[in-house]
Amino acid sequence: MGASWKGGTVTKVPTGGRNHTGQITVRHHGGGVKRKLRKITWVLPGKQRYEVEAIEYDPNRTAYLALVRSEKTQERAYTLATEGMKVGGSIYSVEGGSDWSEDESQEFMKRLEKRWEEQGYGVPSWMVPLGWVPMGMEVCNINGKWIRSGGSGGKILEKRDGRVLVAMPSGEVRWMKADWTAQMGIPQTNMKAGQPIGKAGIARRRGIRPSVRGVAMNPVDHPHGGGEGRSSGGRPSVTPWGKPAHGKPTRAKAWHPWVVTPRQRAWQKKKA
């Protein structure tokens, strides 16, 4: 876990919470340690083996990244590192074959694993169509969009008519296309995930500026401000512009028809 690969990083330009005119549009943002963005290839081009050259920390997410090199083209790329992945290991990416039965796909994977063990590559990590994943197995990085945070994983519940039913970490259960690519396993969690903010300096290094309570302000600055001595604000929590801050639904968007069991929204969790 040394220096990052220069060809796969770009400088992240901080906004400080300001828009193009310089006005603050997001409060409590600013400062912080300089970061670089990794150019991540979420779905690796298929039908080839990739060798893992390094497992690297990424300050922009809670999962580790794997720096891999293609066996065919010798090109390097960043992708998500799953549990058990080590330097010198392999990732095999598959394109097509989503119409194969589970028995056919498992037979193909077993033959390939056996051949790789004979060649000294070891057991690979798999990036395959969702329809190939055995029932009950955990998956992540579905179609390069879903389940990418460290330690999170979805579970395969059912397969039917070219679709796969996946239980998401949020509690949502939804159908997904069987030909979408997914990684088998769960992402490796880095040390940052769940780390307590023990002092003000840690927050500042993360780019989080101080937050002043509304009840500590004057009435000209906040609806909760003013009053004699210590006061509670005298009304339900609101933003500095008078909008309800807790518990009010902010949208009435219908769920996608492929969602079988919706996840709880924030205001529903508040009531529960």
Give the separation between CA 247 and CA 241, rounded to whole angstroms. 16
* DSSP single-letter state for residue 185: S
Q: Tell me which CATH code domain 212-272 carries.
A: 4.10.950.10
How far apart (Å, rounded) are the C-alpha atoms in residues 134 and 100? 13
Could you give the percent of the chain with pLDDT greater than 90? 54
**What values do phi and psi take at 189, rounded to 5?**
-90, 130
Task: Indicate whether 1 pLDDT > 70.
Answer: no
Secondary structure (3-state) at 203: helix
Exposure string over 173-196, b if 16+ CB within 10 A, otherwise e: bbbbebbbbbbbbbbbbbeeeeee
Written in H, E and C, the secondary structure of 110-150 is HHHHHHHHHHCCCCCEEEEEHHHCCCCCEEECECCCECCCC
- Asked if residues 25 and 70 have their Cβ atoms less than 8 Å apart, the reply is no
pLDDT tens string 92-144: 888 766 566 677 777 877 777 777 677 666 667 889 898 888 888 999 999 99
Residues in the chain: 272
**Residue with more model confidence, 240 or 250:** 240
pLDDT reported for residue 114: 77
Furthest CA-CA distance within the chain? 79
Which pLDDT score, from 0 to 100, does residue 271 have?
62
Which helix (H) or strand (E) segment holds residue 65: the answer is strand 65-70
Q: What are the tens digits of pLDDT across the range 41-72?
A: 999 987 888 999 999 999 999 999 999 999 88
Report the percentage of the chain scoring pLDDT > 70.
90
* For the chain, domain boundaries: 6-184, 212-272
- Residue 266's pLDDT is 67
pLDDT band at 270 (very low <50, low <70, confident <90, very high): low
Residue 230 has pLDDT above 80, yes or no: yes
Tell me which CATH code domain 6-184 carries.
2.40.50.140
Q: Compute the distance between CA of residue 260 and CA of residue 256 in angstroms, rounded to an integer.
A: 9
72 token code pair: 């065919």
User: Considering the entire predicted model, what is its pTM?
Assistant: 0.85
pLDDT of residue 22: 94
Q: What is the pLDDT of residue 195?
A: 83
Supply the pLDDT for residue 51. 92
Q: Is the pLDDT reported for residue 165 higher than 90?
A: yes
Query: Cβ atoms within 10 A of the Cβ of 62, count?
Result: 19
Residue 69 bridge partners (DSSP):
51, 76
Choose between 124 and 260: higher pLDDT.
Answer: 260
Backbone angles phi, psi at 9, to 5 degrees: -130, 150
